[in-house]
Amino acid sequence: MRGRSDVLEPAILGLLHESPMHGYELRKRLNLVLGSFRALSYGSLYPCLKSLAERGWIVGTESVADPHAVGSKRARIVYQITADGKEHLQSVLATSGPAAWEDENFDVRFAFFAQTDAETRLRILEGRRTRLTERLETIRQSVARTRERMDEYTLELQRHGLDQAEREVRWLDGLIDNERGIRRARPAGTGPRTGAASIADGEHAAPARSTEKERG
């Protein structure tokens, strides 16, 4: 249960750092923005909000119900992060240990990379790539040892896992290059890049634009 809270708490604080919101809106944002929380229920959300409030990291205040609104006239609790909550969030976002690049934790940490310093982002991306590279090797060894005993569907599932891990490693390579300020030379006349490199450029394109400006 604590492991779930370790992921959910920084996600809530990160979203409230962007703007205050009530529970329903917060749950929608968690479900839509963070893939890890597609199955998030109010039974998980509200105990976590209560725990955060008890520690002084968030506060909830009743919003004034709109008398002209259609539906329930009941006032909603709007949650916002406190100064202590912001300080705690920054301490969490500054960490870059092995937990930060595990599957569910990595999704949350990546969602708040805009609030994370560049050095920490790079350590997390490199740690994630190392973890995925280890996973790739494990899958390859498993397939090599057991492929003759596998039925076609199990073998196809192994190939699918291998393909997913390989794609994510390539995506991470593009993000890491971007964080390091590396820009691979493009052949003349080629169009925009696709995949990981184009995503990376879209998210962190300022260095490339400034270089082009300097060239005149």
Q: Which helix (H) or strand (E) holds 88?
A: helix 83-93
The tens digit of pLDDT for each residue in 36-79 reads 545 577 788 899 999 999 999 999 999 765 555 555 556 789 99
Q: Residue 15: name the closest of 111, 135, 84 by CA.
A: 111
Judge whether residue 135 has pLDDT over 60.
Answer: yes
| 112 torsion bin: left (phi>0), alpha (psi -120 to 50), beta (else) | alpha
User: Cα–Cα–Cα angle for 25, 31, 37, nearest 5°?
Assistant: 130
User: Does the structure show a pLDDT above 70 at 187?
Assistant: no
* pTM score: 0.71
